[in-house]
Structure 1
């Protein structure tokens, strides 16, 4: 099996996560040790999608 490093969507550096070609993730909180950012991502067929969630302050009550 070939593993691929997951790259940070903010700074494009390698994270500590490796995935195989058949890996699927939904709503995975990816943390980058270099830029200290956390991003919510989904992975399917080695395609990484960043999930944008509304900020808690902007939600109406």
Structure 2
């Protein structure tokens, strides 16, 4: 079975996680030890997609 390292979408370095052809991830918090960024991703059929979170706004009371 084919397995690949997940590449950080910010700095393009390998992370500590591997995916296989049958791996399915949803809302996975990917952490990169090199750039120390955390990114939400989805994985299906070895395709990694970055999830853009809407910016949280504070409420004015």
> Same fold by TM (over 0.5)?
yes
Structure 2 CA distance for partners of 1:34 and 1:21, relative to 1, 3 Å: same
Q: Structure 2: any 5+ residue segments left out of the alignment?
A: none
1:2 corresponds to = 2
RMSD, aligned CA: 2.0
Residues 7-45 of structure 1: CA deviation (Å, up to 9, x unaligned): 000011000000101101000000000000000000010
Per the TM alignment, residue 57 of structure 1 is displaced from its structure 2 partner at its CA by: 2.7
Residue of structure 2 in register with 1:13 after alignment: 13
How many residues are aligned here? 61
1:59 deviates by 7.6
**Structure with more of its chain in helix, by fraction:** 1
What TM-score results when the alignment is normalised by the length of structure 2? 0.88
Moved over 2 A (4+): 57-60
Q: Which structure's CA Rg is the greater one?
A: 2
